[in-house]
A = this chain, B = another copy of it.
Amino acid sequence: MSNSPMTPRRITRQIFIGGVPVGGNAPITVQSMTKTDTRDLEATAKQIYDYAAAGCEIVRVSVPTPDAAKVFPEICARSPIPVVADIHFDYKLALAVADGGAACLRINPGNIGGQDRVKAVVDKAGSKGIPIRIGVNGGSLESELLDKFNGHATPEAMAESAMRHVELLERENFHNIKISLKASDVIRTVQAYRILAKQVDYPFHLGITEAGTVWGATIRSSVGLGILLAEGIGDTIRVSLTGAGEEECRVGHELLRSLCLRQGGFRLISCPGCGRLQVDLHNLATEIEKELQTINADGYTFAVMGCAVNGPGEAREADLGVAGGNGEGLLFRRGQLLRKVKEADIAAEFLQEAQNLVNS
């Protein structure tokens, strides 16, 4: 195969969220955030397990109150993945969760009421060896910056906000930082990250925030994060959906896989169908995709194609492929024709061959 069209990855310093490296040459990780009431230990711990099973590698938990901070250590103790504490305004909560097992603090130092408090948080994070994530959000920009930019949270205003927070930490000689710059639209988000990428070498957490309900947010996050990742920008991602966190993780992994940035899972190629279609492709592809999930087919490519035009070519390039046509299908394994099978038998024989392939 030929060169990748991807821009070489931006050079960033590597930090660690618990045992998970972020930045440098570490794999790009997938994150999500719990949606339970943090004080509900059982619900939150269960949700984290569900997320982890769906591929979540770092989880963020909001800590809005002292009650939540009290439960937080137990959440960390039970979590199978590192837990980032999401804190707004109250630096004492940051101190508490840092002692309570947080693997990272998400807190904006400019919003906690002065450099003394910044120093207290930095000292604590330093002594615990945990990073601070600066999380700039287009919806909650400082009012001075909004004034400076005519009332609008522009990409330049967002990047400048991040730099203000960065400087407060650097003033305390703290560099264990990652940064996010989220807006609710693709254009502002992409622009803001591009601007900041030229100014710092801290790793970036990517996301389109408040991206909307599942369908639209999946599209917008795929477009926005795809553009940035193809430019080499981004060290960890979170797909924000007004929906289940598990789905955020699945979309995140698929997005990374589409750019060959992560492996894992299998790939199913199937054609959209057209007037040339001679087999019931939609049901066939859906059934095969579902059954393939029950065997360990990580890393394999499968093709389920409906006709003789592009079918044989794609079916031949895949590890296992079928090209349907006229009530039957041609089964290929790694470019070799295996045999012709009747339409009614395609799914069963395909899955049997998939099992043989994986066992071989």
Contacts and interface: CB of A to CB of B under 8 A. Distances in A.
Given A309-B88, A314-B210, A270 B258 contact: no
Contact of A311 (B139, B212, B276): B139
Contacts of A2: 154-156, 188, 191
Nearest to A285: B242
A213 B285 contact: yes
Interface residues of A, number: 94
A194 interface: yes
Contacts of A140: 309-310, 313
Interface stretch (A14-22, A32-40, A122-130, A173-181): A32-40
A166 to B, nearest CB: 20
A187 interface: yes
A248 interface: yes
A180 to B, nearest CB: 12
A243 interface: yes
B152 A1 contact: yes
A268 to B, nearest CB: 5
Contact of A226 (B222, B241, B276): B222
A327 interface: no
Interface stretch (A57-65, A339-347, A351-359): A57-65
A294 interface: no
A186 B258 contact: yes
Nearest to A44: B275
B255 A219 contact: yes
Nearest to A36: B275
Contacts of A223: 222-223, 225-226, 230, 255, 258-259
Contacts of A212: 267-270, 285, 289
Contacts of A12: none
Instruction: Please indicate which of the listed interface residues A210, A226, A259 has the most CB atoms of chain B within 10 Å of its own CB.
Output: A210
Nearest to A222: B222
Copies in the complex: 2
Given A4-B187, A4-B191, A187-B260, 4 more contacts: A1-B154, A35-B275, A139-B310, A139-B311
A276 B242 contact: no
A187 B5 contact: yes
Nearest to A306: B242
Contact of A209 (B36, B254, B271): B271
A66 to B, nearest CB: 14
Contacts of A243: 272, 282
B187 A269 contact: no
B275 A210 contact: no
A236 interface: no
Contact of A191 (B3, B68, B191, B226): B3
Contacts of A282: 242-243
A41 to B, nearest CB: 12
A277 interface: yes
Contact of A141 (B3, B309, B313): B313
A80 interface: no
A161 interface: no
Given A154-B1, A314-B184, A274 B86 contact: yes
Contacts of A281: 242
Contacts of A44: 275
